[in-house]
Amino acid sequence: MTAAHGREHIPVMTAEVMRYLQPERGGLFVDCTLGLGGHARAMLEGGATRVIGIDRDDDALQHARSVLAPWAEKLDLVHSDYRAIDAVLESRHVAEIDGALADLGVSSMQFDEAGRGFSFQRDEPLDMRMDRSAGETAADLISRSDEEELANAIYAFGEERFSRRIARAIVNARRQSPIDTTGKLAAIVRRAIPVRGYQRIDPATRTFQALRIWVNRELDGLDAFIGAAARRLRIGARLVVITFHSLEDRIVKHTFRALEKSADAALKILTKKPLVPSDSEIATNPRARSAKLRAAERLA
């Protein structure tokens, strides 16, 4: 995930990512979630011989292509989902890689760009798809799902304890008119949640997170991706994963542990506890505050 800071984009925990990936060794690195290209740029500046950058958001790929233009001959950009890492590498006849990064946050461009529907800071169409060329929008899911499905998704993916009240409010509201903008949805959620004193985050935050995860199937296949990426690492190569909410972090933690115990993956966890951003990084880039980094190395 990157944060827009003025016109500059700040990738999260870059120093820590480079410390674990060690691009100075040279070789082929895969940025599985290229975003705006900040981490890939650090890999190339740090000595990576070649970088394959994968992203399912075509707008992000176009932006990264211009940012990374000075390294064009070392770069291979792919419009795909990070979970298709095996297919991407096979199509390029790549058997082994020297390192991989998956930064699972929503890029700041997706949050900040008008019309994407990720944020309730302005009223716009309720889309939320990272890949706008495929799949249902958040508005589609809200219009066709029954009350129980909505409640379960908001609870499971948003860890929202008022999920049943919110789901009921959504179903009641959509009988009057379609819920097709971020402003309409945020207003419905805020009215459904009882107000109790000071609120640190907007009452709509968890529901928006839940819908985004649901629309993009963010938790589906994450464990399989980690296994696939780990098997592609050559001996001594490393996998770094950055998550932004506890649901993802839990999957990464348990998958790393399972691979460390399994015979075929031969993976060693390098981060006993996840690394978190420094206070100074959070001060300059507030969106980094929920980031957690875990890393593992392929053994013989």
Answer with the residue of higher pLDDT: 273 or 116: 273
Q: How far is CA 95 from the centre of its chain?
A: 25
Instruction: Look at strands 2-5 and 50-55 and give their pairing.
Output: unpaired
Q: Note if the pTM is more than 0.75.
A: yes
**Cβ-contact 298, 236 below 8 angstroms:** yes
Considering the four listed CATH numbers 3.40.50.150, 1.10.150.170, 3.40.50.261, 3.90.550.10, the one that applies to the domain covering 115-216 is 1.10.150.170
2-104+219-298 classified as CATH 3.30.450.20: no
- 2-104+219-298 shares its CATH topology with 115-216: no
pLDDT band of residue 3 (cuts 50, 70, 90) is very low
Going by C-alpha positions, the residue among 67, 135, 142 that lies closest to residue 107 is 67
Instruction: Look at strands 28-31 and 97-103 and give their pairing.
Output: parallel
Query: Hey, is 192 helix, strand or coil?
Result: helix
pLDDT band of residue 263 (cuts 50, 70, 90) is confident
pLDDT band of residue 102 (cuts 50, 70, 90) is very high
Give pLDDT tens digits for 117-170.
988 999 999 999 998 888 999 999 999 999 999 999 999 999 999 999 999 999
At 8 the pLDDT is: 52
pLDDT band of residue 239 (cuts 50, 70, 90) is very high
What gap in Å lies between CA 2 and CA 39, rounded to an integer?
9
Q: Cα dist. 230→31, 85, 210, 258 in Å?
A: 14, 11, 28, 12
Domain boundaries in the chain?
2-104+219-298, 115-216
Which positions ≥6 away from 168 have C-beta within 8 Å? 147, 151, 192
